[in-house]
Structure 1
């Protein structure tokens, strides 16, 4: 299963209908919680998600709407006796904030946490592929994250049959790259890896595009509308139109808009503004919705075609 559960979609303050941030990515066996804002533990309960499968938590920056839920998540990891280490990624310059949140209150601490601070060029191997981080442009140290599955190859039954490859020979091809005189390239086709990008509080900058490049699913803040573009630039945020323009220029397949300012009563305006810039799939995030990672593209040519749209 490759799916994103949206736990919260508000920005600076929660509203009656939007909790603070929280996004749970399930990518086969790799389960990652991004930016657990206040109330994330309860939102996970409402979404039917447990902390036990968590493999890592990623914090983009230490503003409260992106991190005040961390103490509850850590204490729940301890309470539920999660049997494996849980990596904790956060801006290296915010280590003091992490340590404070880690021990915000007294509790019986048996959590097996592995703090792994991020800096420019950060990369860690996961069961889903490399997870990388790049700095963004905000009022404090902030990072965006990107998960990229390595490209591979898929076996083509008609080509296998044409070369007389059956049974154990298929496994041999996959393991060694050849079976007799038949090579893997002769009986398979390119299978592009899937890509996920997570971009929160930032003004427009080069690294936004680097993170978003070719993403199958881009989760990105769209705090403001174009009418408040000057304010957005001043405080280090994006408008819905800017987020959609990034998606268009970066060849994104599905764009998920979130982190909405409470100043706008009608959230459909974000969708309308984004639609003027991007004609691909757009999801206007709502609390507790589930968004599947789009089905895998068939070939690298398909990805190239998508990138040119």
Structure 2
């Protein structure tokens, strides 16, 4: 499916490395752009990735540790410089309002962009976007943190052979989709007669957290899951102490949740071989696995209809 991809802008955790910038992830979804956790340097990473500031329609911050938010001032100021005409909605933990205010107005600039605040107070639906429903779930971290999910509504896929057999063509196809039925001669053709269910796709974003109910809820049946895997299993005690996941834990959640494509990211600088994350995750997850690298592009998997109407 054209137009749906994740642009990875940064994959480091607390400290960047020579090859990994601080966090930053842009989800492109049919002309809509969702920028998650813009860490320090995000504006430059967007330039290197060929992503204009006008591509962003919503900014979603999981929490206010610096590696997840210190790039916000540069991104907002670049939007003003570029004359971004559409409004940009920012979602972030409501308890961190003071930090958002400081980041939003971190320095003097010609403030021309229309940034609309959407603080997150708890679990539930945040907004209805043209791309789908945006939801939030609480995570477990030393500071208030939320994960996010985009859920596309279910629809129907038109079947050309059945349309032809029913004599539905031209503008009547669009009318059938809008109204649910059309008259063809003396016959009423219903939408369900000439179409098949088309399940909506799901994207989930899970950053700094221990294992908790929110992780599983966000990951459930995701077509694409972006999840932190800061530590390897040998450091599981450290992961729990500091409120993080291991690669093994993230992969196990993905397997249990039926995730179709798993993207691991947010790697501690203590590890210098990304293959170790892949090897560990493979012991739990047999699906499509990506160990993210800076400036990588990861497509959302094409729709695949399985026994229960969702991708396998």
Q: Single out whichever of 137-146 and 155-164 deviates more from structure 2.
A: 155-164
Give matches, 1:126-137, under 5 Å.
126-137=129-140
Moved over 3 A (4+): none
Q: Secondary structure at the match of 1:159?
A: helix
* 3-state DSSP of counterpart to 2:120: coil
Bigger mean CA offset, 77-86 vs 158-167: 158-167
Output the TM-score relative to the length of structure 2: 0.95
Does 1:166 pair with 2:169? yes
Equivalent residue in structure 1 for 2:49, among 47, 50, 59: 47
Q: Secondary structure at the match of 2:52?
A: coil
Paired residue for 1:250, among 245, 257, 271?
257
Instruction: Kindly indicate whether residue 247 of structure 2 is the aligned counterpart of residue 240 of structure 1.
Output: yes
Superposed displacement of residue 206, structure 1? 0.8
In structure 1, the partner of 2:151 is: 148
Q: Which residue, 196, 202, 206 being the options, matches 2:203?
A: 196
Distance 1:227 1:212 in 2: 24
Specify the SS of the correspondent of 2:26: strand
Distance in 1, Cα, partners of 2:39 & 2:171: 50
Deviation readout 1:235-279 (Å, 9 max, x if unpaired): 110000000001100010000000000111211100000000000
Q: Secondary structure at the match of 1:134?
A: strand
Instruction: State the 1:299 CA deviation.
Output: 5.9
Please tell me whether the aligned partners of residues 119 and 135 of structure 1 are also in contact (alpha carbons under 8 angstroms): no
Q: Secondary structure at the match of 1:301?
A: coil
- Counterpart residue number, 1:281: 288
Normalised to the residue count of structure 1, the TM-score between the two structures is 0.96
- Report how many aligned residue pairs link the two structures: 305
Q: Distance in 2 between matches of 1:90 and 1:301?
A: 34
- Whether 1:207 and 2:207 are equivalent positions in the alignment is no
2:181/2:190 contact within 8 Å kept = yes
**SS of equivalent residue, structure 2 residue 110:** coil
SS at match of 1:95: helix
Cα deviation, residue 171, structure 1: 1.8
Gap runs ≥5 in structure 2: none
Encode CA deviations 1:190-214: one digit per residue, 9 max, x unaligned.
0011110000000000110110111
Q: Is the 8 A contact 1:29 1:127 kept in 2?
A: no
Distance 1:107 1:231 in 2: 41
Distance in 1 (CA, whole Å) between partners of 2:142 and 2:134 is 24
TM-aligned CA deviation for residue 75 of structure 1: 0.8
Alignment partners' CA distance in 2, 1:108 and 1:300:
54
Counterpart CA distance in 2 for 1:17 and 1:94 is 30
How big is the shift at 1:53?
2.2
Aligned-partner Cα distance in 1 for 2:167–2:279: 54
Shift of 1:106: 1.3
User: SS of the counterpart of 1:65?
Assistant: helix
Alpha-carbon deviation of 1:108?
1.6
Query: What displacement does 1:300 show?
Result: 6.8
Q: 2:103 maps to which residue?
A: 101
Aligned to 2:92: 90
Indicate conservation of the 8 Å contact 1:178/1:184, yes or no: yes
Higher mean alpha-carbon deviation, 100-109 vs 223-232, is at: 100-109
